[in-house]
Amino acid sequence: MLWPLATLVGAAAGFALASIPGALLGGLLGQVIDRRLGIRSWAALRERLGGRAAPRDDELLFVMLGRLAKSGGRVQQAHIRQARAEMQRLALNEADKGRAIAAFDRGKTGRDNLRGPLLRRRHDGEALLRACWRMAWADAEVGQDERELILLWGTWLQVPSATQETFSAAYAPRRGPPSSSGDSYQQALRLLGVSADSEPGQIKRAYRRLLSRHHPDKLAGSGASPERVREATETTRELRNAYALIRQRRGFR
């Protein structure tokens, strides 16, 4: 009896895979996953695959924070304190705090698919990611799993990795002597999305565009939440400081 070619090829491939030792096969699969999906941790892989359930918009932030807190294997007291700080930052009432705690505990299970909810929240993605970086730095050190998760979430929220690095640096604990003026200048350039050789006019346009996008008065007038307005106020202050530093360094008005 003649076997179909596809059947023979499949059988040969199965035999070849069966003959590869488990450790080697795992390594090969890991390389494929890393190259094709850009994933370098099991936590990020689980997040990419997703779960069956998806949190509501009012649960999303604290589900994300719970996921981050648990990603290192154990939730620490610093994580719990940071979750409470976020509740205070949002000025939640007692009922809302109860729902936030439930969402945080739910996030620790890692069963939620966050991709869809995050795709819907691109309008306030930066506020969500800032809160995530605050949680990641709560224990004074960002683990690889935490970093991979936040960067993956950032791709769904369409927040550039350079902006994420600025957020991370803003909440990292200060160690040793203060950063040099050169480091501050580079951070200012990244925040405005320009380079050291950009023309003054290009820098001004980038600054004004970002300032218009994040201005708290504009967001408040459009009915944005108090949290978004507070985040916009903080971002506006960072933009002004960055622009002032670049102007001073480059010598233009």
Tens digits of residue pLDDT in 76-89: 999 999 999 899 88
Q: What is the CA radius of gyration of the chain?
A: 23
Closest CA to 115 of 193, 167, 51, 69: 51
pLDDT > 90 fraction of the chain, expressed in percent and rounded: 33
Weakest mean pLDDT among 6-10, 97-101, 236-240, 245-249: 6-10
pLDDT digits 0-9 by tens, 192-244: 888 888 899 999 998 998 888 878 787 777 777 777 777 778 888 888 888 98
Task: For residue 135, count CB atoms less than 10 angstroms from its CB and return exposed for 0-12, middle for 13-18, buried for 19 or more.
Answer: buried
pLDDT of residue 235: 83
The predicted model gives 176-190 an average pLDDT of 67
Residue 180 has pLDDT above 60, yes or no: no
Q: Which residue has the higher pLDDT, 190 or 114?
A: 114
Query: What is the rounded distance in angstroms from the CA atom of residue 123 to the CA atom of residue 128?
Result: 10
Does 3.30.70.1350 match the CATH number of domain 181-250?
Answer: no
Average of pLDDT values for 157-184?
74
**Amino acid found at 247:** R
129 contacts 154 by C-beta, under 8 angstroms? yes
Tens of pLDDT along 18-43?
A: 555 554 444 444 444 444 444 455 45
Write b or e for each residue in 83-120: b if 16 or more Cβ atoms lie within 10 A of its Cβ, otherwise e.
Answer: beebbeebebeeeebeebbebbebbbebebebbebbee
The pTM for the full model equals: 0.60
Tell me what the pLDDT averaged over the chain comes to: 79
Domain residues of the chain, as ranges? 5-50, 57-171, 181-250
Number of Cβ within a 10 Å radius of residue 165: 15
